[in-house]
A and B are shown apart, each in its own frame.
Chain A
Amino acid sequence: MTGISRHATRRPVSRSTERRAPSAAVVEPLSAHDQLVAIKSSLETISEALNAIDPETLSNSEHAKWADEVNQVDLAIARVRSSLLNGIAEAFEAEMPSIRASTARLEKDLSRLRKAVDVINAIAGVLGVVEQIIRLGR
């Protein structure tokens, strides 16, 4: 999952941090994620080419071979998709506790903001009651 992590942390890095990175072009090896994307894309290109063949123009043996290739490519695409999506899902799910904690903090912030007004109103209310008691006692 290192590939996904590299992608995921790329954006929040501050500009100053980016500036500290070596300026020379460093060729990074393709991450597992990038490799899966590339393989899936190649398989999809093959699928497109196989779909462009008119089955009616093929002999029986050619048709059997072509159909077998279509099936293999179909299964391969589904398998690569599984690995690809699973990698992203795992990385995303690892971030969920932080996201949920941030959401909860925002909700708490909103509640604190509202509480401040409630406190002022409560004090005003208490003073009002005290005033009434004093006037009644006269």
Chain B
Amino acid sequence: MRFYFTFLSMLALALLTGCATVSVERARNVSSAGVAYAQATAGVIDVAMNASIDASSERQVRSKPRPPVSESDQALRAAGLKELDSELARNVVTYVRLKRSVNAVEAYFEALQQLADGSTAEATETAVKSLADRINGLNSALEKSEGAKPLISDEKKTAIGGLAKLVAKQAHGALLARALERDAATVGRALALQELVLKAASDDIRANLNDAAARFYTDRIVSPYAAGNIGAAWVEDRRSYLKAHAIGNTTETISAAEAAARQMQTVWERILSGEYSAKELVASLKDTEELLGAVAALKDANAKK
């Protein structure tokens, strides 16, 4: 009797704690979005590191001095390059530091993903059924009668196992809900910082592309046109420039990262606000229905005792 009372208390607690499926789905959504966001941001950082160095190199190539270059000018240029290179090296080191922080955020979401996928509901059901078998076996050994009626009938064993499974499912969901609530502020701050990293890295990539587009337009479109030196290649160049200019020259890497950032924001805002969607509400009703069904099965099994 005490055993069932414990189960029913746990069930009541589970019902109060909330809806397991919703919490698990929510944790799955947020973790997969978080991992994708972190990976996309790390990808943008890699591109930005190259873009910032390339942009500088292109500026240096374009502004190279007209010969002859005096010895004193050469010394000045060498010193200037050294100063510029040490600054660019610092930029790379800082980008690597930022990538390390983004990787730590990714590790958080991977751990959350593992916890969301780590339900022990099935294993608990099997374990509880096996425990019931052992109790029956031990009882029969103590009673010294092989054919004695089992202490826990098959029907009751199935009902207890099913309920244990659902309780484990609820416990898993509650654990995830608690984890999300516990980490909301920490992860929220990390995501806001990650957004700043993404913005800074994207700006470096865009600046490099804008410089390149400006050079392309001057060298391949305006200058040949002004000199009257135009033909089939000029037609191609003009079309590609105008199309890229009109559509926007955002690279795929930035687009993917920005899309991931938008998705992440939506998911995280819902986590923080505790909003339920219609789909989540249906899932939560299904959970409650399953739990009531399991309690009814246990009650039936007890009635047939």
In Å, the complex CA distance between A70 and B200 comes to 22
Query: In terms of DSSP, what is the predominant structure of the interface of chain A?
Result: helix
Q: Which residues of chain A in 115-138 are interfacial with respect to chain B, using CB atoms and an 8 Å cutoff?
A: 116-117, 120-121, 123-125, 127-128, 130-131, 134-135, 138
Contacting chain A: which of B3-11, B84-92, B294-302? B84-92
Question: How would residues 42 to 66 of chain A score, 1 for a CB under 8 Å from any chain B CB and 0 otherwise?
Answer: 0010011111111111001001101
In Å, the complex CA distance between A4 and B98 comes to 14
Q: How far is the CB of A42 from chain B (nearest CB, A)?
A: 11
In Å, the complex CA distance between A77 and B271 comes to 38
- Contact yes or no, A74 B204, CB < 8 A: no
Q: State whether the Cβ of A114 lies closer than 8 Å to any Cβ in chain B.
A: yes
Question: How would residues 77 to 100 of chain B score, 1 for a CB under 8 Å from any chain A CB and 0 otherwise?
Answer: 000100110011011001101100
User: Which listed residue (A37, A86, A88, A121) contacts B127, Cβ 8 A?
Assistant: A121
In Å, the complex CA distance between A125 and B52 comes to 63
In Å, the complex CA distance between A107 and B109 comes to 11
Q: State whether the Cβ of B152 lies closer than 8 Å to any Cβ in chain A.
A: no
Q: How far is the CB of A124 from chain B (nearest CB, A)?
A: 4
Interface size class, chain A: 35 or more
Residues A127 and B137 in contact in the complex (CB < 8 Å), given A91-B193, A109-B175? yes
Residues of A within 8 A of B222 (CB): 54
Q: Which residues of chain B in 85-126 are interfacial with respect to chain A, using CB atoms and an 8 Å cutoff?
A: 87-88, 90-91, 94-95, 97-98, 101, 104-105, 107-108, 111-112, 114-115, 118, 120, 123-124
In Å, the complex CA distance between A109 and B120 comes to 12
Residues A93 and B118 in contact in the complex (CB < 8 Å), given A11-B268, A14-B272? no
In Å, the complex CA distance between A48 and B268 comes to 37
Q: State whether the Cβ of A10 lies closer than 8 Å to any Cβ in chain B.
A: yes
Q: Which residues of chain B in 260-299 are interfacial with respect to chain A, using CB atoms and an 8 Å cutoff?
A: 265, 268-269, 272-273
The 4 closest A-B pairs by CB, nearest first: A12-B188, A127-B134, A70-B63, A67-B63
